[in-house]
């Protein structure tokens, strides 16, 4: 299982992903799911993947090795595309190419072609955008109305985002929200686990503001988890008793 | 969809259930899912159901009409069983009986035999117990280690319970936790909706302490929802910024 969130905020982007992969309960491993493609001054692109690991890795390889543009005959890569929209199209094309190659064999083995991707960033003078791509290679885009997108085990971490994530939320608050949302998910689903990768991108800077791995030893995340649990318990205690029943 | 929670606490039981049923997005209705069987001084039994409504209603009818005990030839009902364990066995038997009658036809129509039940209460001098029954008619029981059980759309409302629900939680705090957990679920899943039914049972009293319906007009629940959202936003803002990144 996997949990990844992307927040598209007024000031930029926050992306977070766990690193646990598992095939059954006794076959777990750590793989990076948040991939950063950064060329300062030119582009910052962050991509988080969920689903079948072989499919995700094949897509990543195609994005860096290149896919031929049928109109021009040129190889397109994540480094050559000229806009975030073209980037999302290229990732969609890579998904479809992997499906073309591996889909029939996966079907023969009753394995599903299961992949979803969050793709955020900015290329040159273009807008900062955040997309979610499906296994069909098509995609949706985050907007000011719904500034966050999630892939993987999304339910446990959604209530806090529903309540607090807005387009006008600052990057710092957005990062904390993403960490709280990840914590809620990790507490309830064993298949989502540390380390966690986080990236913060400030609009129009064309470089990562933060590209960081939170390990088991990281004291801030442990402190945040503890503070959040305590705050929730206090908030609940401070709500007045129902008028229709007294203990 | 449905969301129901039961909390087995030191001082008694809290049970909560929404009332929305739907067959598709344009066919929604209100049906009570929390059923109280109360005979003061003798028994208090609360049963919450999730899944196929026809199955749930058939089970309820069997429990009140009676199922024959093969050993004695007598009709057993929820009013006649002598302990909560026997009550859970009877509900399991009713589930299996409905499966025997309706299962094959449901299969022919590619409809699933989908039902899960929370059953809590106390009968005479027996222990206050809380069970969760599956479609196979078998069941598990809440214990001091895991004092809550959920059925239906359980993920959105689980983080707050994971963090705050303990066996030593008071009935009043337990009721608030159940309401918060329901609120989180209602915000994220359209198929879970008001009115909400709540029941509170105080151990060894053999009568309902609270049996109440929360409607859309109820000011306390609206206030709780607002206070909770505000408290969460404040708690998040009050967490210090990460030391590895400053905005």
Chain B contact present for A224, CB below 8 A: yes
Q: Is the pLDDT of residue A247 over 80?
A: no
A214 in Cβ contact with A45 (< 8 Å): no
Structure tokens given for B189: 């899943």
Share of chain A above pLDDT 90, in %: 90
CB contacts < 8 A, A to B, total: 124
**What's the rounded mean pLDDT across residues A8-33?**
92
Chain A contact present for B160, CB below 8 A: yes
| Residue A238 φ/ψ, nearest 5 degrees | -80, -10
- Which of B187, B220, B235 lies closest to A228 in CB terms? B235
- Which of B171, B210, B232 lies closest to A235 in CB terms? B232
**What's the rounded mean pLDDT across residues A7-36?**
93
Contacts with B172 from chain A: Cβ below 8 Å: 241, 245-247
Q: What pLDDT was estimated at residue B246?
A: 80
> A141: distance to nearest CA of chain B, Å?
20
Which of B206 and B26 is assigned the larger pLDDT? Answer: B206
Q: What pLDDT was estimated at residue A31?
A: 93
- Which of B180, B188, B233 lies closest to A236 in CB terms? B180
Q: In angstroms, rounded to a whole number, what is the distance separating the alpha carbons of residues A19 and A152?
A: 12
B3-238 belongs to CATH 3.10.20.30: no
Q: What pLDDT was estimated at residue A243?
A: 93
Helix (H, G, I), strand (E, B) or coil at A61: helix
Q: In angstroms, rounded to a whole number, what is the distance separating the alpha carbons of residues A99 and A59?
A: 10
Q: In angstroms, rounded to a whole number, what is the distance separating the alpha carbons of residues B227 and A239?
A: 7
| Residue B79 φ/ψ, nearest 5 degrees | -85, -20
Q: In angstroms, rounded to a whole number, what is the distance separating the alpha carbons of residues A39 and A123?
A: 10
Q: What pLDDT was estimated at residue B13?
A: 98
Q: In angstroms, rounded to a whole number, what is the distance separating the alpha carbons of residues A32 and A17?
A: 8
Share of chain B above pLDDT 70, in %: 100
Q: What pLDDT was estimated at residue A246?
A: 80
Contacts with B161 from chain A: Cβ below 8 Å: none
Interface test with B, best of A10, A152, A158, A159 (most B CBs within 10 A): A159
Q: What pLDDT was estimated at residue A1?
A: 83
Q: Write down the domain spans for chain A.
A: 3-238
Q: In angstroms, rounded to a whole number, what is the distance separating the alpha carbons of residues A131 and A146?
A: 12
Q: What pLDDT was estimated at residue B71?
A: 87
Q: What pLDDT was estimated at residue B169?
A: 97
Q: What pLDDT was estimated at residue A23?
A: 80
> A19: distance to nearest CA of chain B, Å?
20
User: What does the mean pLDDT of chain B come to?
Assistant: 95
Helices then strands, each counted (H, E), chain B: 5, 14
**What's the rounded mean pLDDT across residues B111-129?**
97
Chain B contact present for A208, CB below 8 A: no
Neighbours of A181 (CB within 10 A): 26
Q: Is the pLDDT of residue A45 over 90?
A: yes
Q: What pLDDT was estimated at residue B27?
A: 84
Q: In angstroms, rounded to a whole number, what is the distance separating the alpha carbons of residues A57 and A32?
A: 10
- Which of A159, A179, A236 lies closest to B159 in CB terms? A159
User: What does the mean pLDDT of chain A come to?
Assistant: 95
The residues that bridge with A212 in the sheet, in sequence order, are: A198
Task: Give pLDDT tens digits for A166-216.
Answer: 999 999 999 999 999 999 999 988 889 999 999 999 999 999 999 999 999
Across the interface, whether the CB atoms of A239 and B233 are under 8 A apart is answered no
Across the interface, whether the CB atoms of A164 and B239 are under 8 A apart is answered no
Q: What pLDDT was estimated at residue B247?
A: 72
User: Taking a contact as any Cβ pair under 8 Å apart, which residues of chain B between 161 and 180 contact chain A?
Assistant: 162-164, 170-173, 175-177, 179-180
Task: Give pLDDT tens digits for A121-171.
Answer: 999 999 999 999 999 999 999 999 999 999 999 999 999 999 999 999 999
**What's the rounded mean pLDDT across residues B174-194?**
94
Interface test with B, best of A16, A155, A174, A224 (most B CBs within 10 A): A155
A202 in Cβ contact with A11 (< 8 Å): yes
Task: Give pLDDT tens digits for B78-97.
Answer: 999 999 999 999 999 999 99
Task: Give pLDDT tens digits for B188-225.
Answer: 888 899 999 999 999 999 999 999 999 999 999 999 99
Across the interface, whether the CB atoms of A244 and B172 are under 8 A apart is answered no
């Amino acid at each position: 299982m996997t949990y990844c969130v992307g927040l598209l905020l007024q000031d930029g982007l926050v992306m977070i992903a766990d690193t646990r992969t598992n095939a059954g309960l006794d076959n777990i491993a750590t793989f990076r799911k948040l991939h950063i493609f950064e060329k300062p001054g030119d582009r910052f692109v962050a991509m988080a993947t969920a689903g079948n690991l072989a499919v995700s890795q094949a897509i990543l390889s195609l994005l860096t090795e290149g896919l031929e543009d049928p109109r021009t005959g040129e190889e397109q890569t994540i480094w050559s595309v000229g806009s975030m929209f073209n980037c999302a199209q290229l990732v969609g094309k890579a998904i479809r190419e992997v499906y073309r190659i591996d889909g029939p064999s996966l079907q023969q083995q009753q394995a599903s072609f299961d992949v979803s991707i969050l793709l955020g960033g900015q290329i040159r003078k273009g807008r900062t955008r955040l997309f979610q791509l499906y296994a069909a290679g098509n995609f949706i885009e985050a907007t000011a109305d719904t500034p966050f997108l999630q892939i993987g085990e999304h339910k446990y971490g959604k209530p806090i985002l529903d309540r607090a994530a807005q387009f006008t939320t600052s990057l710092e608050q957005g990062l904390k929200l993403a960490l709280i949302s990840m914590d809620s998910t990790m507490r309830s689903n064993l298949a989502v686990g540390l380390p966690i990768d986080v990236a913060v991108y400030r609009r129009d800077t064309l470089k990562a503001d933060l590209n960081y791995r939170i390990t088991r030893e990281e004291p801030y995340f442990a402190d945040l988890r503890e503070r959040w649990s305590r705050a929730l318990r206090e908030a609940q205690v401070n709500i007045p008793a129902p008028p229709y029943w007294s203990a």
